[in-house]
Structure 1
Amino acid sequence: MTPPRAYLSARMLSVRAMGYGVAGVVLSVLLACSRVPETAGEQQSLPARTLPEDWQPFDGRFLHFVSIQVAPEHLEALENDTEQRIPCDISINGVLLHKAGIRKKGGAGSVSPLDNKPGWSLKFDEFVSGQRYRGLDRLLLNNALQDRSLLNEHLAYSLYRRAGLAAPRTAHALVVLNGKVYGFYVVREAFDKRFLRTAFGDGRGNLYEASCCMDFAAPLGSPALLDLKDEREEGRTREDLEALAAVVENAPDETLEKELEALLDVDAYLTGFALEAALAHWDGFAFNLNNYYLYRRPRDGRFVFLPHGMDQLMDRPDFEPFQEPRPRLAWRVWAHPSLNARFRARLAQVVRDVWDEPSLREQVDAVRAVLESSPRHDVRVRRELEDFQVAATTQLQRFQERRVLVEERLTQ
């Protein structure tokens, strides 16, 4: 029997309007008609459906379907090499991409064997020059192994954008590799030149990525430790980051603020620092020297931080927002009377103006509707959906409690 095609057309819109209880019944009936096997791990394909005509790669109105095919002779390389991409064929929401590139993500929060649930990095023009998926040349599929709510990155980056900062867009997907259902993933925008052009009007500046747990300044690091993108290919130098590190390390308190302003967008940095503290993002730059990118904007020559890896939020409910930070830059802000006052004012502004709980609830409800539209024939999907229902409620409550705690700390 042909699988139903109505998940996200007019019927999907009416399902959302009915509420989740009735929606679940309707979707269960629709999916039952497809007669897909009930056992996990069998060769399975994703059903066809009709999408809105104006759909986008990070569209939140529907669950994205990603089907990947890797030849058997490449599976060993895919398992063991997290640096080099191997060829694969990909279908994303019906868009076919032949000879794209795929590799497992190798970070501590993403690494996983093929028989579990790896995170994926996709590059569509790895072997076919100019190949794009809706204008994108690459895409990240985050496995959310440390976030059963599948919400942390999705909500956190939306708060960054609401605060006026550049942040990657996200959506949610159901992923199948070689016929095996791998479950729900967070689809995340990559920090490539297209992103940089969109966010800053120019993608030619130096982009640095830090590994855990490295500072770009002494005593816990240096500019040489960060990965400078396209360093060899385009003959880039690290003089810009070396200059910033020198200010962070050596500028006297009397001139620190002025010298930083010349090389760093201090307002943007303080906003990001405040968001990390408010969200109890203990695994970011300020508190763990992890999960950060630095980009030097060509228009003014100043650095900005880009948020990354925000999948562990509020799992330490009593996390102190005013604790002594680890990086030299964050420490100097914390120890500097004027900069510290600006940080506290920015934290208050974030809680007052950016932390929009009705908007957060709407986003959670939208993600719930999208995930509940998924085919339920695979045991992994059913288990992850059950985990989501519990974790989403818990995480939304944590957001509410965290705001109260930060407001109380601001008054002390």
Structure 2
Amino acid sequence: MRWSRFATAAVPLFTAVSSACHDRPPPDEAPPALAAATSSAELFSLGVLPRFDLYLDEAAIAALHTEDESILKTWRPGTFRYQDLVWENVGVRLKGNLTLTTLADKPSFKIKFNRYVKGRRFLGLEGLTLNNMYSDPSMLREHLSYKVFRDLGLPASRTGFAELYVNDEPYGLYLNLETLDDEFLTFHFDDPTGNLYEGEHGDDLDGDIWSYEHDEGDDTSRDDLAALHELATDESFDLLYDPVTPLDTPRALDFVLAESFVGQFDGYSAAHNYFLYHEPARDKWTLLPWSLDQTLIRDTDPFGHDSYIGRTCRRRTDCLVDYVQRGLIASDLIAEMRLEDEIDRVLNLIEYAARHDPRKRHSNDAMASAQIKTVSWVAERPERFSGAIDCIVNGTEPDLDGDGFGSCFADCDDHNANIHPQAEEVCDGLDNDCSGFADDTPECPCPREEVLGRGFHFCLHEFTWTKARAFCQQQGLELARLDSRAQSDAVWAIARDLRTSSWAIGLNDRLQENDYRWIDQSVPSFFAWADGEPAHLLDWFDCVFYSGGSHATWRERNCGASAPFVCSDTR
């Protein structure tokens, strides 16, 4: 068993979290002051816990208390102080999508030293990204996940921690995350003059190039991105292994492995929250991670990465063998990282500041519980991951039923030659095509239940909201319309018994933000929003799903999110 130190029950795990470093002071005893950072390398280390001070005028303070996303994300001048050094007229704005909040709470910040004074730097950095760790009650996960990417040899942001004060008011502990900008590119690439794109709204190599955000680089034509897209969609070109491919395939496969290992479900695997850099001197494209704050929670399938690269690789035996071999190497490297020791070092630095953070979202008990879970997950994940990925025998994939597909990656029943990824669904209650769901084609109707005067069809196929809408229409139905709260409660009770997860329904505000309509454009007679919903700050979260909890509440999600769904009769 790898990392046996943590292969223990909850009480010893708590001991490991709270007192594994015997020289760490008790939580209620402030640690001794640390020396000031004199370089970015020291700033992004566990050797310092800097105090940053921001000073904003009354107009900026008022603006940052509004609920308008565009105002919150507008650059404003401020003053930054670290130790005895002061930078006046720096750019300050808030950041985040789902985690965006106002100055009345604990927002994340972006600080740009050269926003108003060209060429100015702080310890060699153009800017700072201070994350509020809103979605990470452990205050460990994001730091650890970036370390996994870096230690696998992938370019990824360096991380540290900092305490922030705004107009002398304490805002608590933040993750100090290296910003992806010119200085990052200079630090990580031999040629930093290329274009850096952000994948934010369902963007992938074979998708719409104009949905990418252009963040760095002088060439704004997107000609390089268009050329990559053309190759990705050209069936005659091998983007993965052609000798002249512009894709850095070894890095791309390692990136997919790293996302899979840490359980990143909101990054490139979801065509969201990642960056793409084109290095001109090598004419190579590299993926860069972002938004790793909800990692180290779930065990994602190393063969389930739902991206262009993941899907393309799964269809090819040569790539799958390459992927498995790289995955086994990555598993060994991650075990050698000894992430449990990194947890000790992090807690030794931040524990007092974390416990006394006056604005953190989670209680100290919730933080301690999340830390225990993180320690346990980190201890067990490498063995589970290597076990899931190690399915090559003597360099080849076994094919027991001789249908041309092996059970490692594609064949969900290697003892039945009629079941494989290229088989057709025949509506027999079996998953003939190994999609993960039985009878998931328009030719196979979903089970129907009559609920308070309307027929509802419960489809277990995990489709995007838009694909689910089309599926229902092909069946002569519509993505579910609910006429009353009682009907919604009853429909959810049936869906929940079939699968406890989010389920798509027909409500959306795609045509006009905050104007929710059913598929037939009728206005709902009631709403059943979960707490904090609908997420109006995300104007690209336009489609409504059952939340997936014990109650029949609704939440907004990206229309590209996949889930089972409910169709309804059109009457």
TM-score under structure 1 length normalisation: 0.81
Does structure 1 residue 280 correspond to structure 2 residue 260? no
Rounded to whole Å, the distance in 2 between the matches of 1:237 and 1:407 is 43
Which of 27, 32, 48 in structure 1 is aligned with 2:30? 27
Asked if the contact 2:134/2:360 (under 8 Å) is kept, the reply is no
The residue that corresponds to 1:316 in the other structure is 298
Does structure 1 residue 290 correspond to structure 2 residue 272? yes
The residue that corresponds to 1:85 in the other structure is 75
Give me the identity figure in percent: 25
Asked if the contact 1:67/1:175 (under 8 Å) is kept, the reply is yes
Does structure 1 residue 70 correspond to structure 2 residue 49? no
Which of 371, 376, 379 in structure 2 is aligned with 1:397? 376
Asked if the contact 1:183/1:384 (under 8 Å) is kept, the reply is no
SS at match of 1:374: helix
Does structure 1 residue 247 correspond to structure 2 residue 247? no
The residue that corresponds to 2:172 in the other structure is 183
Q: 1:264, CA displacement in angstroms? A: 0.7
Q: 1:407, CA displacement in angstroms? A: 2.1
The residue that corresponds to 1:97 in the other structure is 87
Rounded to whole Å, the distance in 1 between the matches of 2:144 and 2:387 is 23
SS at match of 1:400: helix
Does structure 1 residue 266 correspond to structure 2 residue 233? no
Distance 1:53 1:134, change over 3 A: closer
Rounded to whole Å, the distance in 2 between the matches of 1:377 and 1:312 is 23
The residue that corresponds to 1:106 in the other structure is 96
Rounded to whole Å, the distance in 2 between the matches of 1:357 and 1:230 is 32
SS at match of 1:356: helix
Cα deviation, 1:107-150, whole Å, max 9, x if unaligned, reads 22x31122111111110122223332111121100111111112
Which of 355, 363, 370 in structure 1 is aligned with 2:342? 363
Q: 1:326, CA displacement in angstroms? A: 2.9
Asked if the contact 1:61/1:366 (under 8 Å) is kept, the reply is no
Distance 1:304 1:54, change over 3 A: same
Rounded to whole Å, the distance in 2 between the matches of 1:327 and 1:25 is 46
The residue that corresponds to 1:406 in the other structure is 385
The residue that corresponds to 2:120 in the other structure is 131
Structure having the higher Rg:
2
Rounded to whole Å, the distance in 1 between the matches of 2:23 and 2:94 is 37
Distance 1:107 1:246, change over 3 A: same
Asked if the contact 2:197/2:275 (under 8 Å) is kept, the reply is yes
Q: 1:25, CA displacement in angstroms? A: 6.2
Asked if the contact 1:216/1:225 (under 8 Å) is kept, the reply is no
Distance 1:259 1:246, change over 3 A: farther
Rounded to whole Å, the distance in 2 between the matches of 1:216 and 1:378 is 41
The residue that corresponds to 2:431 in the other structure is none
Rounded to whole Å, the distance in 1 between the matches of 2:345 and 2:252 is 30
Rounded to whole Å, the distance in 2 between the matches of 1:183 and 1:385 is 13
Rounded to whole Å, the distance in 2 between the matches of 1:381 and 1:332 is 41
Rounded to whole Å, the distance in 1 between the matches of 2:363 and 2:349 is 13
Code of the residue aligned with 2:368 in structure 1: it is Q
Q: 1:322, CA displacement in angstroms? A: 1.4
Does structure 1 residue 334 correspond to structure 2 residue 334? no
Code of the residue aligned with 1:322 in structure 2: it is F
The residue that corresponds to 1:37 in the other structure is none
SS at match of 2:44: coil
Rounded to whole Å, the distance in 1 between the matches of 2:132 and 2:81 is 18
Rounded to whole Å, the distance in 2 between the matches of 1:397 and 1:290 is 28
Q: 1:77, CA displacement in angstroms? A: 2.9
Distance 1:259 1:57, change over 3 A: same
Distance 1:107 1:382, change over 3 A: closer
Q: 1:267, CA displacement in angstroms? A: 0.3
Distance 1:145 1:26, change over 3 A: closer
Distance 1:252 1:53, change over 3 A: closer
Rounded to whole Å, the distance in 1 between the matches of 2:383 and 2:361 is 34
Rounded to whole Å, the distance in 2 between the matches of 1:256 and 1:53 is 43
Which of 151, 163, 184 in structure 2 is aligned with 1:174? 163
Cα RMSD (Å): 2.7
SS at match of 1:250: coil
Code of the residue aligned with 2:292 in structure 1: it is M
Cα deviation, 1:370-392, whole Å, max 9, x if unaligned, reads 11343976644796655443322
The residue that corresponds to 1:350 in the other structure is 330
Does structure 1 residue 301 correspond to structure 2 residue 283? yes
The residue that corresponds to 1:152 in the other structure is 141
Rounded to whole Å, the distance in 2 between the matches of 1:95 and 1:375 is 25
Q: 1:353, CA displacement in angstroms? A: 2.0
Q: Which moved more, 1:81-90 or 1:136-145?
A: 81-90
Distance 1:252 1:344, change over 3 A: farther
Rounded to whole Å, the distance in 1 between the matches of 2:34 and 2:211 is 47
Rounded to whole Å, the distance in 1 between the matches of 2:21 and 2:389 is 40
SS at match of 1:27: coil
Q: 1:361, CA displacement in angstroms? A: 1.7
Rounded to whole Å, the distance in 2 between the matches of 1:382 and 1:226 is 31
SS at match of 1:259: coil
TM-score under structure 2 length normalisation: 0.60
Q: Which moved more, 1:327-336 or 1:201-210?
A: 327-336
Counting only pairs closer than 5 Å after superposition, residues 199-278 of structure 1 correspond to structure 2 as 199-217=188-206, 221-230=207-216, 234-252=218-236, 255-259=238-242, 262-278=245-261
Asked if the contact 1:208/1:293 (under 8 Å) is kept, the reply is yes
Distance 1:375 1:299, change over 3 A: closer
Asked if the contact 1:292/1:307 (under 8 Å) is kept, the reply is yes
Code of the residue aligned with 2:88 in structure 1: it is H
Distance 1:341 1:401, change over 3 A: same
Asked if the contact 2:275/2:287 (under 8 Å) is kept, the reply is yes
Asked if the contact 2:64/2:102 (under 8 Å) is kept, the reply is no
Structure 1 unmatched ranges of 5 or more: 1-15, 31-48
Distance 1:111 1:378, change over 3 A: closer
Structure 2 unmatched ranges of 5 or more: 1-19, 392-571
Number of aligned residues = 367
Rounded to whole Å, the distance in 2 between the matches of 1:57 and 1:101 is 20
Rounded to whole Å, the distance in 2 between the matches of 1:381 and 1:329 is 37
Code of the residue aligned with 1:321 in structure 2: it is P
